Copies of this chain bind each other. A is one copy, B any other.
Amino acid sequence: MQLTNEQLDDLVLGAVFLATGGGGDPFVPQLLTAQALKRFGSVKMIQPDELANDAFVACIGGVGAPTVSLELLPSIAESVAPVKAFEQQTGKKLDALVSFEIGGANSLVPIIAAAATGIPIVDGDGMGRALPEAQMMTYAIEGVKPTPAIACDYEGNLTTFTTGNTATYERHIRSLAMSSGGMITTIEHPMSGAQLKAAIIPGTVSFSIELGRVLRGNRGTAEAMLPHLQEVFSHSIYGECRLLISGKVTDKATRIVGGYDIGSAAIVAFEDESEQLHIDIKNEYLVATQNGELKASVPDLIVIADYETCTPINAERLRYGQRVAVFAVGCPDYFRSEKALAAVAPKCFGFDLEYKPLESL
């Protein structure tokens, strides 16, 4: 399949929905992607099983606190330079690029790099959503080594890592992001086609386009949208889709702590002021509770959207007074396995609670 500017609006709309508040604001990255696709032509997107087992693939995306990207704007060069440096330093040609995660910016960085270099992208990602840390990627969970990896900052400075494990690598790149203005682009977790096929959450880029089409085609209130969302998720790798609340944002605060956006939000129902949903944020919307009762938690998806249009709202764009709907969607089965939960369960984020699948709540 060829990715062109025709799919871009739907891709971004769907990807931001799946990104559960994180993955980076899409505005500037979408402009850059449109420009790259116009200048360099369309991008070839392949399915994971089209890759040879000995193919050479790497992940690329932005690392940092999403808030930063609203002011420290990305560029085409910052997506392309690390790919070229990576091929030069490893002495190997890349057969494909793949996303860390579905997200407003992080779905687009591989497309920008692919357009400029002619390398295909893979239809899928390492999270099926967005998550804040590298060791939470399926690639890392499946044992892919994080390095050789290259980071590029806004000035074009390059840093090459040779690091034993992904948790240490995450610490190192996070600190580099913090000392580089808050955001860097990294190419990392190089792997074979066989490793990719064993680890990837498949089809999430094309599903984002499909989901975006549904959101765009049925623009309307959350209650009106819900059946359309349930329909599209019902024949996907995701689980049940629920509407947790429709209401007004009465509180929202995040701070950049350790290179992440950390904080919380509160939403009070339109119908009943005593009904209040609390959302914990670490880049992404992670835990939703109502009067102390768990309504949904990571790795299941928690999505905040504009109430009237169901346009998803990234955490860095969420504001006091906005009228919103909060949806929850069951995560892909992969993330309910024991080894995946060891990396992404609520306790991995410091929450003192056991993961309960959305469908059981």
164-184 of chain A: CB within 8 A of chain B: 164, 168, 171-172, 174-176, 178-180
Interface check A160, CB cutoff 8 A: yes
16 A-B pairs with CB atoms under 8 Å apart are A155-B168, A156-B164, A157-B161, A157-B163, A157-B168, A158-B161, A158-B163, A159-B159, A159-B161, A159-B162, A160-B160, A160-B161, A160-B162, A172-B176, A174-B179, A176-B176
A178: chain B residues at CB < 8 Å are: 175
CB <8 Å contact, B176 and A157 = no
Specify how many copies of this chain sit in the oligomer.
Answer: 2
Cβ-closest 5 pairs across A and B: A175-B179, A160-B160, A175-B175, A158-B162, A171-B179
CB <8 Å contact, A172 and B179 = yes
A209 to B176, CA, bound (A): 39
- Closest chain B residue, CB of each to CB of A179: B175
A155: chain B residues at CB < 8 Å are: 164, 168
A interface: dominant SS = mixed
A168 to B154, CA, bound (A): 12
Which residue in B156, B157, B160, B176 is a CB contact (below 8 Å) of A175? B176
Which residue in B157, B159, B162 is a CB contact (below 8 Å) of A157? B162
160-213 of chain A: CB within 8 A of chain B: 160-164, 168, 171-172, 174-176, 178-180
A162: chain B residues at CB < 8 Å are: 157-160
Beyond contacts A159-B163, A172-B176, A175-B175: 19 other A-B pairs, Cβ-Cβ < 8 A, are: A155-B164, A157-B163, A157-B164, A157-B168, A157-B172, A158-B161, A158-B163, A159-B159, A159-B160, A160-B161, A160-B162, A171-B179, A171-B180, A172-B180, A174-B179, A175-B176, A175-B178, A175-B179, A176-B176
A161: chain B residues at CB < 8 Å are: 157-160
- Residue from A159, A164, A171 having most chain B Cβ neighbours under 10 A: A159
A86 to B232, CA, bound (A): 53
A176 to B160, CA, bound (A): 12
A160: chain B residues at CB < 8 Å are: 159-162
A102 to B180, CA, bound (A): 29
A159 to B174, CA, bound (A): 14
- Closest chain B residue, CB of each to CB of A159: B161
A161 to B176, CA, bound (A): 11
CB distance from A133 to the nearest CB of B (A): 13
A161 to B157, CA, bound (A): 8
A180 to B171, CA, bound (A): 8
A176: chain B residues at CB < 8 Å are: 172, 175-176
CB distance from A172 to the nearest CB of B (A): 5
60-89 of chain A: CB within 8 A of chain B: none
A171: chain B residues at CB < 8 Å are: 179-180
A180 to B163, CA, bound (A): 11
A174: chain B residues at CB < 8 Å are: 179
